Structures are given as C-alpha cells and as structure tokens.
C-alpha cells in the first residue's frame, strides 16, 4: 500500500467517523480502530526493510549486535506505544493514553541502561585516573 492509498483510507475513515459519531459512537470508534490496524499492517513490511537496513549497516560498521538489537527494540516500543496511545485517545481515554506513553518511556529507559553504561565506561577510559 503506498502513501496515497494510506492517506485516502485515512480520509475516508475520518469522514465515516464524523458521520457515524452522532449515530452510533461505538461503530464510529471501530471504524477508526480497524483503519489504524489496517494502516499499521500495511506498513509493517516497510518497517521490516528499515530494520534489515539498520542491521546491515551495523554489520558493516562492526557494531555489537546487542546494541543494534536494543536500538531496534527501542524503536519498536516507541511506535507501538504511540499507536496504542493514539487509539486510546481516539476512544476518549486520554488518561489511559498518558499511562501507555509513560510505560513506553519507562521500557525505553530500561532498555537504554546498558547502552548508557557502555558510553559512560568508554568515556571513563579516556579520562586519566588520578
């Protein structure tokens, strides 16, 4: 699915939502939910290409696989948390969306700790000891 199809799908879903929200709020929400899922599923293949490119670049640069895997996990968590938060905001549950975003940030921080530790250790190796 290319970008024009995705935008068209989004616009049609938005118009349907506007029309249906006064008639049947539940059905209108399901239109938005299904549209979000369809768009996400249509871009998964593109995301896979990006991950493969990052992995090949990391292999060429001889970057430790653990770091690349962690970075890819962080990217995945960010996108999944954003998608979940957006869907819950569409449902009118802003407080739940905020909690999803907070959980995503905490998981990202947990995954980033080994990378932060490695950077600090590398910096400390360059500083002469007293």
| Residue 21 and residue 39 in contact, taking contact as beta carbons nearer than 8 Å | no
User: Two tokens at 123?
Assistant: 């910096």
Indicate whether 1 and 54 sit together in one domain: yes
Residue 94 pLDDT class (50, 70, 90 cuts): very high
- List, for residues 41-58, the tens digit of each pLDDT value: 888 878 888 878 888 888
Backbone angles phi, psi at 13, to 5 degrees: -65, -40
**Cβ(80)–Cβ(101) below 8 Å:** no
CB 6 within 8 A of CB 39: yes
Handedness of CA 52, 55, 60, 61 (dihedral sign): positive
Do 81 and 100 have their domain in common? yes
100 is in which domain, residue-wise?
64-129
Domain identity same for 3 and 48: yes
Our count of domains for the chain comes to: 2
| Mean pLDDT for the stretch of residues 68-91 | 88
Whether 20 and 46 map to the same domain: the answer is yes
Structure tokens at 60: 């060429």
pLDDT at 114 > cutoff 80: yes
Contact in structure between 17 and 32 (CB atoms under 8 Å) = yes
**69 plus 40 within the same structural domain:** no
For the ranges 22-31, 59-68, 89-98, the lowest mean pLDDT is seen at: 59-68
How confident is the model at residue 130, as a pLDDT? 57
Q: Does residue 28 sit in the same domain as residue 78?
A: no
- Asked whether residue 50 falls in the same domain as residue 87, the answer is no
Instruction: Name the pTM for this structure.
Output: 0.71
């Amino acid at each position: 699915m290319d970008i024009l199809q995705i935008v068209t799908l989004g616009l049609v879903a938005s118009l349907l939502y506007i029309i249906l929200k006064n008639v049947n709020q539940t059905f209108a929400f399901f239109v938005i939910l299904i549209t979000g899922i369809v768009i996400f599923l249509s871009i998964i293949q593109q995301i896979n290409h990006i991950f493969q490119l990052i992995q090949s670049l990391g292999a060429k640069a001889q970057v430790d696989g653990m770091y690349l895997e962690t970075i890819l996990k962080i990217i995945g968590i960010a996108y999944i948390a954003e998608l979940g938060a957006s869907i819950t905001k569409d449902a009118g549950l802003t407080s739940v969306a905020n909690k999803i975003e907070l959980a995503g940030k905490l998981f990202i921080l947990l995954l980033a700790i080994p990378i932060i530790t490695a950077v600090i250790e590398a910096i400390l190796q360059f500083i002469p000891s007293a």
